[in-house]
Amino acid sequence: MAMMKQYVDVFLSPSTLHYISNNTVVGIWWHQFSALFWSSDFWLPSGRQWENIEPSNKFQYPNFHDVWVYPLLLSVGFILFRFFLLEPFVLEPLALAAAVPNKRPHPPPPSKTLETFYRLYGLKPSTKQLVEAADTSTHDSETS
């Protein structure tokens, strides 16, 4: 097996990286994706490498896990808050107080003319075909 190019993998923690990167297909694919996505040629000025921007006592760079773990946890928290607290205890009583009905609109009644038109012409009929279908539909509804 060919040696993989070494780079800084910021998506995964070291223990997770060690677990999936033991010559598994998923690990190899992940390394290839991460190497392509985090290419220093794209993200950094020319002549700089990821190793050049390692954190030190003088410069402390943000940790990538701070960027995706905390927003993910916050978004899950907001979704749970919305569905289990906000909607049932705040929004539904407000809607009931404002007399907003809690039912969906009825679907339109079936139309044999429109169904036949759709089967004949599909999703993008010409304007001429639409006009002819409208005239036919109008005549059908007047005779019924």
**CA–centroid distance for 77 within its chain:** 18
pLDDT band with cut points at 50, 70 and 90 for residue 10: low
Tokens 């969906």 locate to 104
Sequence-distant (6+) residues with CB within 8 A of 52 are: 44
Query: Residue 144 has which token pair?
Result: 């019924």
Please write the tens of the pLDDT for every residue from 20-39. 666 677 777 877 888 888 88
Are residues 11 and 64 in contact, defined by beta-carbon separation less than 8 angstroms? yes
pLDDT at 21 (0 to 100): 65
Mean pLDDT (the chain) is: 79
Domain ranges of the chain: 14-53, 62-103, 112-143
Query: Residue 37 has which token pair?
Result: 């996505």
Higher pLDDT, 38 or 135: 38
Are residues 117 and 111 in contact, defined by beta-carbon separation less than 8 angstroms? no
Please write the tens of the pLDDT for every residue from 115-125. 888 888 888 88
